[in-house]
Structure 1
Amino acid sequence: MRGTKTIVAAGIIVFFAFAWYTLFSNSTRLQKEYESCLADARQKMEMGITKDATDQYMKALSMYESLDLRLEIAEYYYKTGQYDNYDEWCHTLMAKYPRKKEGYEKMASYYQETEDYYECYDILNAAAQRKLKSEQLSKIQQNIYYKYELKKVSLEAYKIYSSGYYAVKKEEKNWGYCDARGDNKIAYNYAEAQCFTSSGLAPVKSMDGEFYLIDKDGNKKYVDIEKKKIEECSPLSEDKMAVKIDGRYCYVDVNFKKQFGDYDYATAFNNGVAAVKEGQNWFIINKNGEKIQEQAYQNVIIDEKQVAFRNSCAFVQINDTYRMINTKGEQVGDQAWEDAKLFLSDLPACVKSQGRWGFVDANGQWVIKPSYLDAKPFTNGLAPVRTDSGWGYIDLEQKEQVIPCEFDDAGNFNDGGCAWVMKEGRWNMLFLYRLNKR
């Protein structure tokens, strides 16, 4: 019995030894064949025999799947100018190894090189979603952060972006409305058009001279049933509009019924206050039409939306210089400037000092010292500035030029990453790739 067990044990040892030997021999043979395929593929690549090189690479991959080999094959496609295959292969690589950064690096680098920035951002965003980081991906992101595309729209004029819409005047057409990307949303049917506000309404003037309010679908919502001869109408803000009738300004409600006022000029309400002109003097009034104080000003800065206050601040002229005040009429800080442009958000406004424009915060403190020939306030982290070369954009964080000064004029960026820029007398839309899709 003991002899039988000994024979069985010896047989098992021999069996495993033979199996190990066979496995080792097969593995060695497969490794040699793999290395031979790779050597042949590389040689064929150098000789320009791409069909055979591809076949040998695929044969090698069928033997041993690895990230390194897939990266080498990608490099082979790129070096031999097989760019469609390279594109497809890198996408396959990312699908096969979604948690490895190398595929994303190759694809993002390729799209940056070919200036396909929409695709490049798709890759960068996919990598970010998988929390993949690398120095190369960060560098690509930095290099293309302010790359843009110009969309030809050819506008004659536009008004400030507000509540998702621009009032725009198309070349050889009337006024209408477009969205943040410059796509027409309300037909060009109006002689005049004002901004939409948070009310969802905007005043327009028909070709027959009638003012009324429309909604964002272009439907007529409120009309002047008294049929007053309105000459001008501000946007509807805080339930009031400033209108001009027979050369004088007053405030009306949404139904165009007079509330109060008889002024030489009146701005729209914002932050609970408005500016009105009586004779040569300007005053600040509350929503009841009462002056918040008797202080008179030589002038008040008014923006395209016809408001004098934003960010609870206004710029008023006293003794031939501009100063910042709050909604109580109190001066903010002790600075005085030659000129100013109103805040468009909680980001810095621009002011002029010693013939140059710079930027200040809501406390009147310098954020960027004056150095530009002209400027417009910051919105969404960017501000238009003019140099000897033309208009371009600076970044608030970097405080330096990030989009070249190569335009005849430039508007503010909206929250969709778009801005109107002028070339050869017409306004067209600039898109930042990182904030837009194809």
Structure 2
Amino acid sequence: MYLIKVADRYGYINAQGEMVIEPMYKNARDFNEGLAYVQTFDDVKGYINLANEMIIQLNAEYYGAFKYGLARVTLNGLDGCIDMKGQVVLNPQFERVNGVNPDRTIVVKQNGKMGLMNLDGKFVIEPEWDYLHTFTEGLALIRQKNKVGFINEQGNIVIDSQFSDAFCFSEGMAEASLDGEYYGFIDYSGKFVIEPTYYQVKEYKEGLAGFRLKTGGKWGYINTSGEVVIKNKFQFVGPFQEGLAVVENRDRGGYINKQGKYVVKNVLSSTTDFQNGLGRVNYNGEWGYVNKQGQWVYKPKSFDLW
């Protein structure tokens, strides 16, 4: 189901744009793994299922999205995890829960350091890092003394902490910078396969990555060989998802295809990446959804441009 907002109330539609859960919530988020966080106007908070039944009612300070059957929650300023029945599986005792891996190990922060813990409460990677991300493509980003590297699932360093900045691996490459100013892409060995000549870059998705040069300041896209395939002419670009990417010009958003052609015109207040065939858009405070052909599935009432 897809989240919508009508006036000051949140509800949900299906993929055909039909109302499934009437706008009735003061606050709500997207469904993940069949559950969504909601807040009623009576200030009842928790998670509903697809039948709009609140199956987890919880008074917390933060409610995370479910991933691999677990969700981060914050109680009394400390993080823990609950399962999809609302049972606490990791007691809220950590400064931060920073994500869940597919094997349901959890990145936690304790006494200022991050490590990896299993659901038995035992560390499988000791908390020795200033920062630790979840694993992507078998590697996890680490930060120690303002330098970034990568470890494997056994906790061994496989790419030395030599970078001023870096991001997680995607499609075999990771954005990285030696000096914090110019970025390129490294492979699993830590070698640059695309030299750090860009002022900013974004992760590869569907074979394309956003890039920005220091001169001009506009964004475009390169392929995995570093060739410019969509000219740098945008104020903002997002990753390609399901063949389309969010772009912005003059503070208005739209969607382009891999040829750089607009599928949805850049007249929207804001847009989000495509998920399951639909992209969520905002037009002057009203929400709607478009399909990959640029047709409205759920149209904001005030929108009459196409």
| TM-score bracket for the superposition, by shorter chain length | 0.7 to 0.9
- Structure with max Cα Rg: 1
Does residue 105 of structure 2 align to residue 246 of structure 1?
no
2:238 counterpart (360, 367, 376): 376
2:72 counterpart (204, 207, 210): 204
Query: Contact 1:150–1:430 at 8 Å: present in 2 too?
Result: no
Aligned-partner Cα distance in 2 for 1:196–1:268 = 15
Aligned-partner Cα distance in 2 for 1:364–1:241 = 35
The one-letter amino acid of 1:364's match is G
Q: Which residue of 2 aligns with 1:277?
A: 143
Residue deviations 1:149-180, cap 9 Å, x none? 79896997868x8x75686676976575788x
The one-letter amino acid of 2:211's match is V
Assess, with a 3 A threshold, how the Cα gap between structure 1 residues 175 and 263 changes in structure 2: closer, same or farther. farther
The one-letter amino acid of 1:298's match is S
2:61 counterpart (179, 185, 191): 191
Q: Which residue of 2 aligns with 1:231?
A: 95
Aligned-partner Cα distance in 2 for 1:429–1:170 = 21
Query: Contact 2:281–2:290 at 8 Å: present in 1 too?
Result: no
Query: Contact 1:149–1:431 at 8 Å: present in 2 too?
Result: no
Query: Contact 1:195–1:235 at 8 Å: present in 2 too?
Result: no
Residue deviations 1:388-437, cap 9 Å, x none? 151111112x421111222232211012x2223334567x3514287998
Query: Contact 2:210–2:219 at 8 Å: present in 1 too?
Result: yes
1:322 counterpart (164, 178, 183): 183
Query: Contact 2:278–2:292 at 8 Å: present in 1 too?
Result: no
Provide the aligned length of Structure 1 versus Structure 2. 269
SS at structure 2 position matched to 1:334 = strand
Does residue 145 of structure 2 align to residue 312 of structure 1?
no
Aligned-partner Cα distance in 2 for 1:298–1:399 = 32
Q: Which residue of 2 aligns with 1:388?
A: 250
Structure 1-normalised TM-score? 0.52
The one-letter amino acid of 1:411's match is T
The gaps in structure 1 that reach 5 residues or longer are 1-147, 302-307
Structure 2-normalised TM-score? 0.72
1:420 counterpart (273, 280, 283): 280
Aligned-partner Cα distance in 2 for 1:290–1:313 = 19
Deviation at 1:333, TM superposition (A): 2.5
Percent identical pairs in the alignment equals 18
Deviation at 1:384, TM superposition (A): 0.5
Aligned-partner Cα distance in 2 for 1:394–1:293 = 35
Q: Which residue of 1 aligns with 2:120?
A: 255
Query: Contact 1:252–1:258 at 8 Å: present in 2 too?
Result: yes
**More strand by percentage:** 2
Assess, with a 3 A threshold, how the Cα gap between structure 1 residues 274 and 375 changes in structure 2: closer, same or farther. same
Q: Which residue of 1 aligns with 2:160?
A: 294
Deviation at 1:337, TM superposition (A): 1.4
Query: Contact 1:373–1:386 at 8 Å: present in 2 too?
Result: yes
Aligned-partner Cα distance in 1 for 2:283–2:83 = 32
The one-letter amino acid of 2:212's match is K
Query: Contact 1:170–1:188 at 8 Å: present in 2 too?
Result: no
Does residue 273 of structure 2 align to residue 408 of structure 1?
no
Aligned-partner Cα distance in 1 for 2:247–2:297 = 26
Aligned-partner Cα distance in 2 for 1:399–1:356 = 14
Query: Contact 1:203–1:234 at 8 Å: present in 2 too?
Result: no
2:195 counterpart (334, 352, 375): 334
Deviation at 1:207, TM superposition (A): 4.7
SS at structure 2 position matched to 1:419 = strand
Aligned-partner Cα distance in 2 for 1:185–1:378 = 34
Aligned-partner Cα distance in 1 for 2:18–2:182 = 39
**More helix by percentage:** 1
The higher-RCO structure (CA 8 Å, 6+ apart) is 1
SS at structure 2 position matched to 1:377 = coil
Query: Contact 2:289–2:297 at 8 Å: present in 1 too?
Result: no
Assess, with a 3 A threshold, how the Cα gap between structure 1 residues 204 and 279 changes in structure 2: closer, same or farther. same
Aligned-partner Cα distance in 1 for 2:260–2:229 = 9
The gaps in structure 2 that reach 5 residues or longer are 1-15, 299-306
The one-letter amino acid of 1:399's match is G
